[in-house]
Amino acid sequence: MIFALSSLIALAGYLLGSWRQRQLLLDSRPTQQPRPSRIGVIGWLAHSLTVYLHVFTNQGLLLDLGSAISLTAWSVTGVVLFSSFRKPAANLLIVIMPIAALCLAFSIFTPPTAAPMVYATELLLHILFSFLAYSLIAVAALQAVILAYQNTTLKSHHSSPLLRSLPPLQTMESLLFELLATGIILLTLGLATGFIYMEDMFAQQVVHKTALSVSAWVIFAALLVGHYRFGWRGRTAIRWTLVGFLLLLLSYFGSKLVIEYLL
């Protein structure tokens, strides 16, 4: 009963929150960045309870594809919500909240495809760092897409309500690299806890996941060094951010899809 109620509140909160966020964007002045809508925050809090009830079962941690997608959507939304109180990120919620609602609906209506795992502090740390890293880098990837739109629109000398509502290009680019820098720190911690505490990082079923995650780490590290040392930005930053994100996406959700649905 509680699970169904929290899920319903979360779905409604996300959809109404996205609509309200759009209204706040249209009503705000170009120099004023809107704050997150209250209804969207309520949706995220309800999603928090849903994730807790779904993932933390009496038998252990349930991290099949559905619950992992829901957990990632919850984490991404939370990162943007908290970031938007001090950074110009609230407008991202217009896109992120409907996606989070779809992810939550998928997890609710999809039967479990994996057995729960036994609780362990080391496993929880690895999961925490990994999901936070994926979430920050997912937000960075969305930021890169918006930057690409901003670059293209400015070069074509066209204007639109969305373009006028966005912060200056330099501010958007700075936010991208802040997200990447924090994301790679968390990704490093996620990989480190995996290598230290987990014995099967190179087992046959997960070796591709490890290889793709490490490859993504190398790309982000090279991009950050190139940016701060050689001034890489613009299309180079956008391209490699998206490549690194796709590698991370394949490393986790691609492997889960193959193992749980295709094998």
Predicted confidence at residue 168, as pLDDT, reads 80
Predicted confidence at residue 179, as pLDDT, reads 93
Q: Which of 67, 66, 38, 46 is nearest to 2 (CA)?
A: 46
The b-or-e profile of 183-222 (16+ CB within 10 A means b, else e) is bbebbebbbebbeeeeeebeeeebeebbebbbbbbebbee
As a whole number of angstroms, the longest Cα–Cα distance in the chain is 58
The H or E element containing residue 60 is strand 60-61
Percent of the chain predicted with pLDDT > 70? 88
User: What band does 195 get if pLDDT is binned at 50, 70 and 90?
Assistant: confident
| Residues with Cβ within 8 Å of residue 263, at least 6 apart in sequence | none
Beta-bridge partners for 117: 61
Q: Is the pLDDT of residue 30 over 80?
A: no
Asked whether the beta carbons of 96 and 59 are under 8 A apart, the reply is no
151, two tokens: 């670059």
User: What band does 151 get if pLDDT is binned at 50, 70 and 90?
Assistant: confident
Q: pLDDT tens for residues 154-166?
A: 777 776 666 666 7
Least confidently predicted of 1-10, 195-204, 221-230, 248-257: 195-204
Predicted confidence at residue 183, as pLDDT, reads 95
Residue, of 255 and 217, whose pLDDT is higher: 217
153, two tokens: 């629109």
Predicted confidence at residue 116, as pLDDT, reads 80
What's the pTM value of the predicted model, to 2 decimals? 0.86
User: What band does 127 get if pLDDT is binned at 50, 70 and 90?
Assistant: confident
Q: Specify the amino acid at residue 151.
A: N
The H or E element containing residue 166 is none
Asked whether the beta carbons of 13 and 39 are under 8 A apart, the reply is yes
